[in-house]
Structure 1
């Protein structure tokens, strides 16, 4: 059901996705084409904020902060999975895999490589602070607009 907390949770997670995507891009080799990297991550933030964080708002500030951390963790998980799928398809189009099972396993290997690359202190700090702020603000907004 549409409400203000769902809308703002979606916006907050999209902003977190935008900022973190901007921090991740310099970690890759120069000249890499990112295509829809940032917009796709922002779209994931919108969907996760709307479907996960918004409906859970209104249960207190502690639960709100936990809600923000959960939403951000889901954003990271689905972001790694979707970007791993995208990279696997890109490599599959270049005939890098011998069969479909090798390609499916590659999704998780690529996601793991991206997670290791992403495990920088500044990115983790941005994710944590963004999660706490997004959760607290979503909770505050749910109190204002019931």
Structure 2
């Protein structure tokens, strides 16, 4: 059911995802195609803001902070999974893997590699601070528009 808190959560976490994706782009090597990266991460933020932060709003400030952090961590995890699988599928199209098992292990290796790459940039600072602020904004929207 659409609520004001869900709408606000979707918009706020779209922005958090976009800002975090722009921080990631500062660490990407020159010439790497990343055309849809910010939009994809922002859309994951929109989805998570609607379904997690907005749906759980209205339970108090401490829960709002926890839900905001949960939403931001889920944005990061889903973004890592999506782009690790994307890279694995691109590599498998050029017949780089001998079998299914090797491709799955490579996807896990890419997930870990991308995770460590995200630790270099201030991505997690943006996600954590944005998550706390976004959770509190969703809580305010839930209280204001019941």
The TM-score bracket by the shorter chain reads over 0.9
Instruction: Note if contact 2:27-2:121 (Cα within 8 Å) is conserved in structure 1.
Output: no
Deviation track 1:68-119 (CA, whole Å, cap 9, x = no partner) reads 0000011111110011111111111121111112112222111110110001
Instruction: Note if contact 2:8-2:138 (Cα within 8 Å) is conserved in structure 1.
Output: yes
Partner of residue 65, structure 2: 65
- The whole-number CA distance in structure 2 between the counterparts of 1:72 and 1:20 is 10
Matched ranges for 1:1-146 at <5 A: 1-120=1-120, 122-146=122-146
C-alpha displacement at 1:35, in angstroms? 2.8
Structure 2 stretches lacking a partner, 5+ long: none
Structural RMSD (CA) = 1.1
- The whole-number CA distance in structure 2 between the counterparts of 1:133 and 1:82 is 25
Structure 1 stretches lacking a partner, 5+ long: none
- The whole-number CA distance in structure 2 between the counterparts of 1:14 and 1:75 is 10
Closer/same/farther in 2, CA of residues 121 and 34 from structure 1, 3 Å limit: closer
SS of match in other structure, 1:56: coil
- The whole-number CA distance in structure 1 between the counterparts of 2:100 and 2:29 is 28
SS of match in other structure, 2:122: helix
Q: How many residues align?
A: 146
